[in-house]
Amino acid sequence: MQSRDTAKRAKLLCSALVAGLLPLAGNAQDTKEITSWDLQTQDRTVANIRAGMDRFEAANPGYKVVDSHFANDAYKTKLKIAFGANQPPCVFASWGGGPLREYIRAGEVVDLSPYLDANPAVKGYFMPASYTPVTFEGDIYGLPARGTSIGVILYNKEIFEKLGLTPPATWGELMNVSKVLNENGIAPFALANKSKWPGSMFYVYLVDRIGGPEVFLAAADRQPGGSFEDPAFIQAGEMLQDLVKADGFARGFNGLDYDIGGSRRLLYSGRAAMELMGNWEIGTIANENPEFLGKLGFFPFPAVEGGKGDPANVVGTLGDNYISISTQCPYPDAAFDLLVKLTDQTSTEEQLLDNIVSPVLGIEVGDPTLQGVIDLVGKAPSVQLWYDQELPPTLAEVHKDTTQQLFGLSITPEEAAATMEAAAKAEAN
Amino acid sequence: MSVGEAVTAAEKLRRSRAGSRRLHKAAPTIFLAPAILLLMVFLLYPLLSSFRLSLLDWNGLGDGARFIGLQNWVRLAHDTVFWNSAWNNILLAFFSVVVQLPIAVVLAVVLDEASKGSRLLKILYFLPLLMSSVALGVLFKNVYDPNFGPINGILGAMGLYSWTQDWLGDPNFALGSVIAVVCWQNIPFYMVLFLAALSSFPREITEAARLDGATGRTIFWRLKLPHLQGTFRTAVLLAVIGSMRYFDLIYVMTGGGPENASEVMATYMYRTVFNSFELGYGSTVASAMFLIIMVIAAVSLRISKRFETEV
* Residue that wins the pLDDT comparison between B304 and A142: A142
Cross-chain Cβ contact B147/A251 below 8 Å? yes
Please state the rounded mean pLDDT for residues A274-297. 91
> Touching check for A298 and chain B: CB below 8 Å?
no
**Helix axis angle, A197-211 relative to A213-220, nearest 10°?**
110
Quick check: A228 contacting B, CB < 8 Å? Answer: no
pLDDT of residue B6: 61
Distance CA A228, CA A17 (A): 42
Answer CATH for A2-146+320-359 from 2.60.40.3120, 3.40.190.10, 3.30.1330.120, 3.90.1170.50:
3.40.190.10
Name the pLDDT band for A154 (thresholds 50, 70, 90). Answer: very high
pLDDT over threshold 90, residue B61: no
Q: What is the pLDDT of residue A2?
A: 43
Furthest C-alpha separation in chain A: 77
Contact of B61 with chain A, judged by CB distance below 8 Å, is answered with yes
pLDDT in the model for residue A161: 95
Q: What is the pLDDT confidence band of residue A251, given thresholds at 50, 70 and 90?
A: very high
Question: For A24-108, where are the alpha helices, taking DSSP H only?
Answer: 43-59, 72-84, 97-105
CB contact under 8 A, B145 and A252: yes
Task: Name the nearest CA neighbour of B288 among B90, B68, B82, B42.
Answer: B82
- Rounded Cα distance, A363 and A374, in Å: 9
Q: Which residues of A touch B78 (CB under 8 A)?
A: none
Q: Inform me whether the C-beta atom of residue B271 falls under 8 Å from chain A C-beta atoms.
A: yes
- What pTM was estimated for this model as a whole? 0.82
**Residues B287-308, mean pLDDT to the nearest whole number:** 86
Chain B residues in contact with A392 by the CB 8 A cut-off are 277
Check if B170 contacts A (Cβ < 8 Å).
yes
Q: Do B61 and A397 touch (CB under 8 A)?
A: no
Q: What is residue B199's predicted lDDT score, i.e. its pLDDT?
A: 87
Distance CA B174, CA A404 (A): 15
B20-47 tens-digit pLDDT: 777 788 888 889 999 999 999 999 999 9
Look at residue A413 in the predicted model and tell me its pLDDT. Answer: 96
- Cβ A142 vs Cβ A123: under 8 Å: no
Tell me the C-alpha distance between B167 and B154, whole Å. 14
Indicate the residue of B61, B259, B278 with minimum beta-carbon distance to A404: B259
Cβ distance of B278 and A255 shorter than 8 Å: no
Q: Is A196's CB within 8 Å of B61's CB? A: no
DSSP letters for chain B: --HHHHHHHHHHHHHHHHHHHHHHHHHHHHHHHHHHHHHIIIIIHHHHHHHHHTTEE--SSTT--EE-TTHHHHHHHT-HHHHHHHHHHHHHHHHIIIIIHHHHHHHHHHHHHTTGGGHHHHHHHHHHHHS-HHHHHHHHHHHH-TTT-HHHHHHHHTT-GGG---TTTSTTTHHHHHHHHHHHHHHHHHHHHHHHHHHTS-HHHHHHHHHTT--HHHIIIIIIHHHHHHHHHHHHHHHHHHHHT--HHHHHHTTT-STTTT--HHHHHHIIIIIS--HHHHHHHHHHHHHHHHHHHHHHHHHHHHT----
pLDDT at B130 > cutoff 50: yes
Our CA-based measurement puts residue B61 at a distance from the nearest CA of chain A, in whole angstroms, of: 6
B49 touches chain A (CB under 8 A): no
> What distance in Å separates residue A36's CA from the closest CA in chain B?
20
Q: Which of B277, B278, B285 to mutate to test the interface with A (most CBs of A within 10 A)?
A: B277
Exposure class string for A7-36: b at 16+ Cβ within 10 A, else e? eeeeebeebeebbebbeeeeeeeeeebbbb
| Position A62 pLDDT exceeds 80 | yes
Q: What percent of chain A has pLDDT over 70?
A: 93
Question: Whole-number mean pLDDT of chain B?
Answer: 88
- A113 neighbors A131 (Cβ within 8 angstroms): no
Chain A nearest-CA distance from B189, in A, is 28
d(CA A147, CA A317): 9
State mean pLDDT over B206-217.
87
In B, which residues are within 8 Å of A260 by CB distance? Answer: 138, 141-142
Residue B127 to chain A, least CA–CA distance (Å): 24
pLDDT at A3: 46
Residue B129 CA to residue A349 CA, distance in Å, equals: 48
Closest Cα in chain A to B272 = A394
Higher pLDDT, B198 or B21: B198
Of the pLDDT bands very low, low, confident and very high (cuts 50, 70, 90), residue B18 is low
**Using 50, 70 and 90 to split pLDDT, how confident is the model at A24?**
very low
CA distance B3 to chain A (A): 59
Query: Nearest CA to CA, how far is A89 from chain B (Å)?
Result: 15
Residues of A with Cβ-Cβ distance to B271 under 8 angstroms: 397
Indicate if the pLDDT at residue A88 is higher than 80.
yes
Q: What is the DSSP letter of A401?
A: H
- Please indicate whether the domains covering A2-146+320-359 and A149-317+375-428 agree at the CATH topology level: yes
The reply to whether B46 touches chain A by the CB within 8 Å rule is no
Region of residue A185 (left: phi > 0; alpha: psi -120 to 50; beta: else): left
User: Nearest-CA distance from B171 to chain A in Å?
Assistant: 8
Chain A nearest CA to B251, separation (Å): 11
Of B61, B145, B174, the CB nearest to A103: B61
Q: Which of residues 37-76 of A touch B (CB under 8 A)?
A: 76
The mean pLDDT of chain A is 88
DSSP annotation of A411: S
Residue-wise pLDDT tens digits, A339-369 = 999 999 999 888 888 878 888 887 777 778 8
Q: Which residues of A touch B138 (CB under 8 A)?
A: 260
Q: For residue B252, what is the nearest residue in chain A, using CA coordinates?
A: A257
| Bridge-based pairing state of the strands A139-140 and A143-144 | unpaired
The domain defined by A149-317+375-428 carries CATH number 3.50.50.60: no
Secondary structure class of A162 (helix, strand, coil): helix
In this structure, are residues A98 and A391 in contact, taking their beta carbons and an 8 Å threshold?
Answer: yes
Is A272's pLDDT higher than 50?
Answer: yes
**Contacts A–B by Cβ distance under 8 A:** 108
A393 and B167 within 8 Å at the Cβ level: the answer is no
Across the range B171-199, mean pLDDT stands at 93
Give the pLDDT score at A334. Answer: 94
Higher-pLDDT residue of B190, A371: B190
Rounded to a whole number of angstroms, the CA Rg of chain B reads: 27
Q: Is the peptide bond before A300 cis (omega within 30 degrees of 0)?
A: no
How is chain A split into domains, by residue range? Answer: 2-146+320-359, 149-317+375-428
Predicted complex: ipTM over 0.85: no
B62 touches chain A (CB under 8 A): yes
Cβ of residue B176 closer than 8 Å to a chain A Cβ: no
- Interval A161-210: pLDDT, tens: 999 999 999 999 999 999 999 999 999 999 999 999 999 999 999 999 99
Q: Which residues from B are below 8 Å from A397, CB to CB?
A: 271, 275-276
CA distances in angstroms from B102 to B36, B139, B165, B191, listed in the order given: 37, 26, 27, 10
Tell me whether residues B254 and A255 touch, CB distance under 8 A: yes
